[in-house]
Every structure is written in C-alpha cells, then in structure tokens.
C-alpha cells in the first residue's frame, strides 16, 4: 500500500555533479538542419510507443538496431538514453515529462529509477492509472493529462514538472498521450478533437494546435510519432502529406 494519498509516489532527484527492415525516408527541412524521417522500430510503425522525449533526452529500448539509432540521432538531435522500464520496451507508453521532471508507470524498477532521476525529478504513477506516456502530453510550458488522473495527482504532476497541468480528453478519449504530440512550437491532435478540448490544450501548452494523422490515416499521432523541437520520426507507413502536416504543426519548417 502506498503511503501517499494519491496514486503517485514522488521520487527525489539525487545530486547530479528489431527495427523492421525496409526503406527509410529521411529529409532535411527548413534549411536549418532540421530533419524528419519515417521508419519502424522493433517491427512496428507505432514508434511513439517505444520512444519518450523528455526535455533534451530521448529514452528508447535497449535492443534498437544501429540503423534505428542513427535515424534517431539524425532526426531528433537529442541525447539518447537506452532503458527498459520494468523489463518493457514500451518506453513511450510508460514515460512522459519535460526537462524538469517526468512521470513513469509503477512497473519501474529501482534500477530504472536510478537512471531516470539522473535526468530530473520522477513521480511514479501507481494503481490502475499508471501508463504515463498514454495519459499525458507535456512540453516546457504545460502538461495536458487524462481526466482519469485524480485531482491530487494533477497537483503532484504540476509540482514535479513545474508547469500548469490541466485535464481534458482528446476526441472524447482519455488516452491523451496517444492522441497528441507536441513540442515547444506546436501540437498535433486527433482529427476529431473538439473546440472545447482545443482551447484547453492551447491554453495549457501555450502553442497553436493542428489536427492530422500518421501511418496512413491513424489518428493516434502520439503513439505513431516522436518529436523534438528540431525534428521528428514517424512510422514508415506515414505518407508525404502526413509528414508535411506534422512538420507544419510542430514548427519544423
């Protein structure tokens, strides 16, 4: 039983002194070295399920092939941290945050926590509401979380991430982290997002939302892509128009 009144267990920050084989599309955009790529990771086009961008770091599975790692380096331009959260490769579904802190599912091991806390404060989401990457989308301005997270949990997240936090659905669904992808310049949302949801998201993340799809029509844009402030990677089935929309929404062109 947790000693905390909410399903969150804060972790203090310590003192810090088989990608599927196939064609990869990689292109520079905007004339500033920014890039976008399409690829599959570990045989899946749901690359956002396996990747968690947290501040200036991208957390990824231990087993990625060298070719996949090269693509991440070329597109995202972030420090990489290989990790297995509780033995799972689904890093993007289990972890979310910003440069100040992050939330992670309660399957996390002590060893995982040691790794994560070297990059910021950590809060463990306990109980049935624990897949942080599916339930939250965040940037340096704010965080949008699932309504399934209780009010005291929102307060903990606001403290750990040091941003405003608001709860809303996206297109009427609770898995907001799977249905949205954001960076410092923008956010791409499920095409069926409502006007009220858009206003909450715009206000909290302080960016202008756009709608779109990835992976040949999938509205699960958060599960299907991963982005930094200068580049993005999406599933190999993602079409040219979808890539253009992703670039526009996230200010990559």
CATH architecture of 8-249: 5-stranded Propeller (3.75)
Distances in Å between the Cα of 223 and the Cα atoms of 5, 215, 234, 235 are 30, 10, 9, 9
pLDDT for the residue 9: 54
> What does the pLDDT read at residue 8?
56
Asked whether the beta carbons of 182 and 137 are under 8 A apart, the reply is: yes
Task: List, in sequence order, every residue forming a beta bridge with 8; answer none if it has no partner.
Answer: 125
Closest CA to 226 of 201, 250, 253: 250
- Beta strands per DSSP E along 2-71: 8-11, 25-29, 34-38, 52-54, 57-60
- Other C-beta atoms within 10 Å of 16: how many? 8
Three-state SS at 26:
strand
Alpha carbon distance 118, 110 (integer Å): 13
Distance CA 121, CA 40 (A): 31
Q: What is the pLDDT of residue 129?
A: 82
Instruction: Please report, to the nearest 10 degrees, the dihedral formed by the alpha carbons of residues 61, 63, 68, 74 taken in order.
Output: 50
pLDDT at position 26 is: 52
Task: Split the chain (253 residues) into runs of 10 and give each run's mean pLDDT.
Answer: 41 39 44 74 98 99 96 97 98 99 98 98 90 98 98 96 99 99 99 99 99 99 99 97 98 91
Query: Using CA atoms, how far apart are residues 23 and 21, in angstroms rounded to an integer?
Result: 7
pLDDT of residue 12: 47
- Structural domain boundaries in the chain: 8-249
Closest CA relative to residue 166, chosen from 193, 139, 195, 146: 146
CA distance 17 to 176: 35
């Amino acid at each position: 039983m947790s000693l905390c009144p909410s399903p969150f267990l804060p972790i203090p920050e310590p003192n810090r002194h088989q990608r599927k084989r196939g064609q990869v599309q990689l292109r520079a955009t905007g004339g500033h070295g920014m890039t976008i790529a399409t690829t599959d990771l570990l045989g899946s086009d749901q690359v956002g399920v396996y990747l968690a961008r947290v501040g200036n770091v991208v957390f990824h599975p231990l087993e990625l092939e060298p070719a996949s790692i090269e693509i991440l380096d070329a597109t995202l331009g972030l420090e990489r941290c290989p990790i297995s959260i509780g033995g799972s490769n689904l890093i993007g579904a289990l972890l979310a945050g910003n440069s100040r802190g992050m939330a992670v599912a309660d399957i996390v091991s002590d060893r995982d926590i040691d790794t994560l806390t070297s990059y910021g404060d950590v809060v463990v989401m306990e109980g049935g509401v624990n897949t942080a990457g599916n339930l939250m989308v965040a940037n340096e301005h704010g965080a949008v979380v699932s309504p399934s997270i209780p009010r005291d949990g929102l307060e903990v997240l606001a403290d750990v991430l040091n941003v405003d936090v608001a709860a809303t659905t996206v297109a009427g669904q609770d898995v907001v982290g799977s249905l949205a992808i954001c960076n410092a310049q923008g956010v791409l949302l499920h095409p069926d997002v409502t006007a009220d949801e858009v206003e909450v998201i715009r206000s909290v993340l302080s960016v202008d939302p756009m709608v779109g799809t990835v992976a040949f029509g999938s509205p699960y844009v958060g599960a299907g892509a991963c982005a930094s402030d200068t580049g993005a990677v999406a599933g190999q089935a993602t079409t040219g128009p979808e890539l253009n929309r992703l670039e526009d929404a996230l200010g990559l062109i």
